[in-house]
Amino acid sequence: LEEGARSCLLRFRHRLEQDIKPSYLMDHMISDGVMTVDEEEKIRTKPTRKDQSAALLELLLMKDNRAYISFYNSLVKESYDDLADLLREDLPSVLSVGGESGVQTVLSEGGVPQRPVVFVSRPELVNRVREKLYRLQKDPGWVTIFGMAGSGKSVLAAEAVRHHGLIEECFPGGIHWLAIGQLEKPDLLVKMQSLCFRLEQSLDPQTLSRPPNSLDEAKERLRFLMLRRYPRSLLILDDIWDSTVLKAFDIHCRILLTTRNRSLTDSVSGAKYEVGVQSGLDESKGLEILALYTKMKPHGLPEEARSIVRECKGSPLVVSLIGALLKDKPNRWCYYLRQLQQKQFKRIRKSSSYDYDALDQAMAASIEVLPDEHRELYKDLTVLEKDIKIPAKVLSVLWDLEPEEVEDILQEFVDKSLLFVDSHHKPYLYYLHDLQLDFLVEQNRTQLESLHSKVVRQYQQHYRDGPPTSGDEECLYWIRFLTYHMAKAGLSQDLYSLMFSLDWVSTKSQIMGPAHLINDYVEYGSILDKENSEVRSQFQEFLSQNGHQLEERPFPDVVQLALSQPHNSEVYRQARLQAQNRTRTG
């Protein structure tokens, strides 16, 4: 829910509570699909009309803009004109309402990345993509943007949908961005799970449905969501490598995808359109980027500028990386040009994913200019998962530095195009470009274990007295990824003791819901089984039997639940111990 709307609801809460009759309003909201029957029933169980109103407002505060608009409309329909007037002013500007800020809201709700800090327009390409997207107005289909690494496909895809008319006329159901990248089947399932989760959450943040278990199930879930709950929306799949991925999304919806492989959509059905980003930026745009980074006028740039653009054939990525370097070392034009040129003689074709050799060099060069101590810190980012955004506080634990100091360092990385920041989010969230992460992993291949260990050890040091439970972004990161880091670090012992602990089960399911936890037992099953496969299955069993209760709020007493496990189960044993402790301490 938009800030303005939220604050408006809070301001007029008492008046609304006094006056409204929730049952009528809820009927409208259910038929608008912004509220479920379950939620309605929960509210109806409240004793008085006023309690019910309060509960409805409470629920509304957790919902999205659409729910707010539906609530507003239902006030109008039920002739609460005075109340509707109070809310009108702060009506969120989504979809058919509003202009620029409406577009921004739709895009950021759908996870569409923002423009890079230094940005040049490519009107001809953008228009070609938009023109194809308009063909999806009436019917589902696929639009492919293809081209090589770093040619600006993702930026282009995000830019194409940054258009009020297009969203309003073609995709009033919203725009949903999903970063894919190179992945194996299980990872694809996780991505699809998280997409379903996101889509379901924004309709209905309270119920947590079980994540789909298989690709087929995920596909069906998504088909339903796109058809029934998000009709006329656009799904953007960024960086697809494999046609099996596309098959999972072959559900008769509207899709924009970016890829290096032009022929991917051959294997799926429906209307298909494509736009190639075959050449890089033309010289003037390339120079414009260099000029923006170095704060010079394009015609005042040195002669090398032109050669740099030519040397990398206008690759937006390479020009941007070098631009960012020059921003700090403005007298290194000649040096960076030479680096690029030398590359031509040393064509080291690596197994890594870049088609573009110069990329490695440009990337390595960006890292080399960091002061030594910051280079080490940057290296620590190797352990992040793709597309995961983290708040500075996580790194403050990892690096054992004050949050403010961490923010300054991260800002430095951002300024050097080594890191991206999502500044829509408070606190800011930071993330790496896929290529940067690939590069880091490649560079630090032999140290992955120790880098992950460092994360775990720093966490353990910082949270000696128990895991964080605040539910803020930092807490969520640890609760979600601690097991991942332990597994990657090869710290099996730590992983066993964490995952074979009823306390952890209780903490994690309270904060993230049981689905994530079950996922962990499946994902790390083979590691856990080396210690004790029975205990592993006892925990898993416990979770699948009680998944439903663990989704309930208020959160149930896990010890009580666990006491009904078979008496030879480790889950039972720990619960009994805790129950005894409770009686002892009163």
Residues that bind ligand ADP (CB under 6 A): 116, 118-120, 122, 147, 149-155, 258, 289, 316-317, 320, 417, 433
Q: Closer to ligand ADP at the Cβ: 430 or 539?
A: 430
- Residue 320 CB, shortest distance to ligand ADP, in Å, is 4
Contacting residues for 118 by C-beta, under 8 A, at least 6 apart: 289, 292, 293, 320, 323, 324
Q: Closer to ligand ADP at the Cβ: 317 or 558?
A: 317
What are 275's strand-pairing partners?
145
Q: Closer to ligand ADP at the Cβ: 52 or 265?
A: 265
Say how far apart CA 240 and CA 243 lie, in whole Å: 8
Q: Closer to ligand ADP at the Cβ: 40 or 159?
A: 159
CA nearest to 235, candidates 292, 180, 296, 314: 180
Structure tokens at 249: 């999304």
Structure tokens at 247: 């098959």
- Residue 230 CB, shortest distance to ligand ADP, in Å, is 25
Q: Cβ of 164: how many Cβ atoms within 10 Å?
A: 13
Q: Closer to ligand ADP at the Cβ: 151 or 569?
A: 151
Q: Cβ of 33: how many Cβ atoms within 10 Å?
A: 14
- Residue 367 CB, shortest distance to ligand ADP, in Å, is 16
- Residue 319 CB, shortest distance to ligand ADP, in Å, is 7
Say how far apart CA 337 and CA 306 lie, in whole Å: 10
Structure tokens at 413: 């990385």
Asked if 180 and 191 count as a contact pair (C-beta separation under 8 A), the reply is yes
Q: Is 10 exposed, middle or buried (0-12, 13-18, 19+ CB in 10 A)?
A: exposed
Q: Closer to ligand ADP at the Cβ: 53 or 361?
A: 361
Q: What is the dihedral of CA 126, 128, 134, 136, to 10 degrees?
A: -110
Q: Closer to ligand ADP at the Cβ: 239 or 407?
A: 239
- Residue 343 CB, shortest distance to ligand ADP, in Å, is 18
Structure tokens at 335: 């040096």
- Residue 459 CB, shortest distance to ligand ADP, in Å, is 30
- Most distant CA pair in the chain, distance: 81
Distances (CA, A) of 126 to 18, 110, 111, 529, 571: 51, 20, 19, 52, 57
- Residue 339 CB, shortest distance to ligand ADP, in Å, is 18
- Residue 477 CB, shortest distance to ligand ADP, in Å, is 24
Q: Closer to ligand ADP at the Cβ: 433 or 508?
A: 433
- Residue 177 CB, shortest distance to ligand ADP, in Å, is 12
Q: Are strands 420-422 and 429-431 parallel, antiparallel or unpaired?
A: antiparallel
Q: Cβ of 485: how many Cβ atoms within 10 Å?
A: 25
Residue 420's φ and ψ, nearest 5 degrees, are -115, 155
Q: Closer to ligand ADP at the Cβ: 120 or 253?
A: 120
Say how far apart CA 61 and CA 3 lie, in whole Å: 10
Closest-by-Cβ residue to ligand ADP is 152
